[in-house]
């Protein structure tokens, strides 16, 4: 087990998910529902399923694109998105 990779993945996903629309939707469902356990299990299964899709897609893409290039491309995309958000005019 690569503990460094596990912890960095956990930290990245944990911070990215804090306060996002998924967490807000989960809070809303828990507040309005009768079973917090059902909401927790549904949300946890959904996150596991989307993570599994991400891992499978990442594995498939790295068969075509080398991992260092994939990280570079992802970095450029994130920087470009950040610049676009900073320059975007409010409607």
Q: What is the pTM of this model?
A: 0.67
Q: What is the reported pLDDT for 90?
A: 62
pLDDT tens track, the chain, 91 positions? 999 999 999 998 888 888 888 888 899 999 987 899 999 999 999 999 999 999 999 899 999 999 899 889 989 998 999 899 888 876 5
Q: Is 68 exposed, middle or buried (0-12, 13-18, 19+ CB in 10 A)?
A: exposed
What pLDDT is stored for residue 60 in this prediction?
93
pLDDT of the residue at 19: 81
Residue 35: how many CA atoms within 13 Å on its side-chain side? 7
Q: Report d(CA 25, CA 11) in Å as an integer.
A: 21
As a whole number of angstroms, the distance between CA 12 and CA 88 comes to 26
């Amino acid at each position: 087990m690569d503990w460094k990779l596990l912890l960095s993945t956990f930290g990245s996903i944990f911070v990215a998910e804090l306060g996002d629309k998924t967490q807000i939707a989960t809070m809303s469902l828990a507040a309005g529902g009768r079973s917090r356990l059902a909401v927790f299990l549904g949300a946890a299964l959904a996150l596991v399923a989307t993570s599994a899709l991400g891992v499978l897609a990442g594995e498939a893409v790295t068969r075509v694109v080398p991992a260092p290039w994939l990280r570079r491309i992802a970095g450029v995309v994130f920087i470009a998105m950040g610049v676009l958000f900073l320059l975007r005019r409010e409607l």
